[in-house]
Structure formats: structure tokens, C-alpha cells
């Protein structure tokens, strides 16, 4: 009987059936602590493994790959994979996979929830109730912004951006989008980034984190937005220059911001960004429903088991690594 491949999973998965499938097919090692493994701990546990199932908190770089020469596959339990050096993995014939599709609707729900909460100042109102600041009805207190009939600009018209656009149409919003190419069937008008920023009452970000999108939103881009605009980011924290965002909020160059992602994560409680007015920050809850996280774990497991069985995974990020292994 052939020896089962060794696999390391970097966090306890909320999907018992997926874990059982891995346990039956592999020699499984699961990181049981609620905190992520350190760089050294990750290298120690992955050494000798043929497969690893990672979260976005684990950096899989050239140094780790060189220390783990038996590694054949990295299954990332996320849509984004900016935590993985894909080029280095491809050079070593290591397959990299992600989990697109299964979290689209859930993340779009979160983006729209943040949009609504920021527009209607729900966090400030809830804090006022708990803090004893709720007084008699005042017609000028905690005034927010109408969502119905407003213009929403979507930066990144992929799956999640499209799902947010569909929700916006249900609220009677006009939708603009910025993309490098027209997107067939996208429920909105394609415009330049400058036009989108200048026309939008709400701006929602859905681009991956790449060298080109790092600090894409900075002092210059915030200056192009309308002073009543609300900024929403559910993509990656590194897309935003947080110093510039704080300055824009303090100066009133934009009206409000709602973030589900920051840089770093978790954001330290003394970070200057948190002192900005009209800011709502959630602890990266975009895909955080029981059903979605279970589907993500199951899809990551599917990807990993396929790769270890010598099959081409359905959600392969680097097909060049597959071709390299077939030579």
C-alpha cells in the first residue's frame, strides 16, 4: 500500500466533512491554535509535506518553498492569493489554488451592509445609545446619506463587484464601473477611474492586491471624490493608503468610509486610523458565514486532493506549474 502524502492545514476548519476527507486520504497535521503559525512554525510543520492548505495569513514565499522541497500543492482558502509568491511556486512546479465563486454572494452582502451602515451612520447611532447620548428627537442629529437613487462606483467589476452592482440596482442606484475592458452583461456604465470618482456618491472596491493596485487609493484619488462620498473596501487593506484615508476623513474631503480589510490585520487598537471621524471598521468578515466558510474549506480540500492525486485542480492559479510538472 502506497504511503499517504503528508498534508498540513494551517487552521482548524469549520467543515468536519472536509477534514475527514483529508484525514482519510492523507497523513494530516492540523494547526490547532487560534493564532496563525509564525514563519518558523510554518516552515517546521510544512517541511516534509507534499501539500498544504493555507489561509491568507500564511506567507508562502521562496524561502518557505526552498525549505520544503517535497511540496507539490498549496491550496489557499481564499479568493485572493497575495500571500503566496506564485512566481516562485511556478518555478518549482508547485501548484497553487484558490476558492473563487463560493464566497461571491456573501462578500457582496457584506459590502452592501457596510455601504448602508456608513450611509446611515449606524455605528455612531448604536454607540450613542450605549453611551447615553440618545436624547430627545432632533431633526438635525446624525443625518446620513440616501442610498436609493444615488450613484455607486465599482472599482473591479469581477464576480463580487458584479454581485454588489446587482444589489445596488435593487435599491434604484445608478452604477458605474471601472475596468480595463468592457464586461459583458455588467449592470452598469464603464467609465474611467477619474470619472467614476468624480460622479459617484459611493465607491466600492473589489480589485485584487497587486503591485499595480497597492495604495491605489491615496491622497490624489481621495481628492477626486465628492465631499459627500462614502468609500467602502472589502478587497484588501493594502489597496488603501490608510494615512491618506485618515487625512481625507479628518479634512472632510470625503464623508465616510467603511472597511472590512486593513493593513495590517488585525489593526492595532492605537492605530491613528481608528481616530478618524465617520469611519466604520469590521474585522474582515466578508466571507464569515457558516455555509460560506464550509464551502470554502470543501473547495480548498477538493483542490488539494486533486493536485495530490496527479489531477489538474479546477481552480488552478498557476497553470504554468501544471505544464512544468507534465514535462
**Which one, of 99, 83, 40, 38, lies nearest residue 261 by Cα?**
83
Q: How far is CA 287 from CA 106, 110, 153, 281, in A?
A: 6, 8, 22, 15
Is residue 265 annotated as a catalytic residue, yes or no? yes
Ranges assigned E (strand) in the chain: 6-9, 27-30, 51-54, 73-76, 95-97, 151-155, 174-178, 189-190, 202-205, 230-233, 256-259, 279-281
Q: Taking the CA of residue 239 as centre, how many other CA atoms within 13 Å lie in the half-sphere pointing to its CB?
A: 22
Catalytic-labelled residue, pool 236, 246, 253, 315: 236
Residue 292 parent element (H or E): helix 290-308
Active-site residue, selected from the candidate residues 24, 265, 311, 314: 265
Of 40, 46, 63, which Cα lies nearest the Cα of 10?
46
Beta-bridge mates of residue 300: none
d(CA 20, CA 26): 10
CB–CB of 88/318 below 8 Å?
Answer: no
The verdict on whether 50 is a catalytic residue reads: no
The conformation of residue 120, written as its DSSP 8-state character, comes to T
In a 13 Å sphere around the CA of 170, the CA atoms on its Cβ side amount to 8
Examine the residue annotation and report whether 215 is marked as an active-site residue of this protein. no
Q: 9 has which bridge partners?
A: 30, 53
* Rg, C-alpha atoms of the chain: 22
Q: Which of 178, 253, 284, 295 is catalytic?
A: 284
Residue among 114, 131, 218, 215 nearest 167 (CA): 114
Question: What's the CA gap between 224 and 153, in Å, rounded?
Answer: 13
Annotated active-site positions, please?
236, 265, 284
Amino acid at each position: 500500500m502506497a504511503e499517504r502524502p503528508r498534508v498540513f492545514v494551517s487552521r482548524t476548519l469549520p467543515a468536519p466533512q472536509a477534514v475527514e476527507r483529508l484525514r482519510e486520504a492523507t497523513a494530516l497535521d492540523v494547526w490547532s491554535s487560534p493564532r496563525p503559525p509564525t514563519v518558523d512554525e510554518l516552515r517546521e510543520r510544512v517541511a516534509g509535506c507534499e501539500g498544504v492548505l493555507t489561509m491568507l495569513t500564511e506567507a508562502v514565499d521562496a524561502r518557505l518553498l526552498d525549505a520544503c522541497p517535497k511540496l507539490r500543492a498549496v491550496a489557499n482558502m481564499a479568493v485572493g492569493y497575495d500571500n503566496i509568491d506564485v512566481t516562485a511556486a511556478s518555478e518549482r512546479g508547485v501548484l497553487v489554488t484558490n476558492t473563487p465563486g463560493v464566497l461571491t454572494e456573501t462578500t457582496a452582502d457584506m459590502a452592501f451592509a457596510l455601504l448602508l451602515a456608513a450611509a446611515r451612520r449606524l455605528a455612531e447611532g448604536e454607540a450613542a445609545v450605549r453611551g447615553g447620548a440618545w436624547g430627545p428627537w432632533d431633526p438635525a442629529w446624525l443625518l446620513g446619506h440616501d442610498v436609493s437613487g444615488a450613484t455607486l462606483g465599482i472599482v473591479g467589476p469581477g464576480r463580487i463587484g458584479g454581485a454588489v452592482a446587482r444589489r445596488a440596482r435593487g435599491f434604484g442606484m445608478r452604477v458605474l464601473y471601472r475596468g480595463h475592458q468592457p464586461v459583458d452583461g455588467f449592470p452598469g456604465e464603464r467609465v474611467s477611474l477619474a470619472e467614476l470618482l468624480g460622479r459617484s456618491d459611493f465607491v466600492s472596491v473589489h480589485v485584487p492586491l497587486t503591485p499595480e493596485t497597492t495604495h491605489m487609493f491615496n491622497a490624489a484619488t481621495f481628492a477626486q471624490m465628492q465631499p459627500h462620498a462614502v468609500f467602502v473596501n472589502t478587497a484588501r487593506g493594502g489597496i488603501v493608503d490608510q494615512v491618506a484615508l485618515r487625512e481625507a476623513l479628518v479634512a472632510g474631503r470625503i464623508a465616510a468610509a467603511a472597511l472590512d480589510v486593513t493593513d495590517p490585520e488585525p489593526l492595532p487598537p492605537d492605530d491613528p486610523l481608528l481616530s478618524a471621524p465617520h469611519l466604520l471598521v469590521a474585522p474582515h468578515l466578508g466571507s464569515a458565514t457558516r455555509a460560506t466558510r464550509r464551502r470554502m474549506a470543501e473547495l480548498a480540500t477538493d483542490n488539494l486532493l486533486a493536485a495530490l492525486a496527479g489531477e489538474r485542480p479546477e481552480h488552478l492559479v498557476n497553470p504554468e506549474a501544471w505544464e512544468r510538472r507534465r514535462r
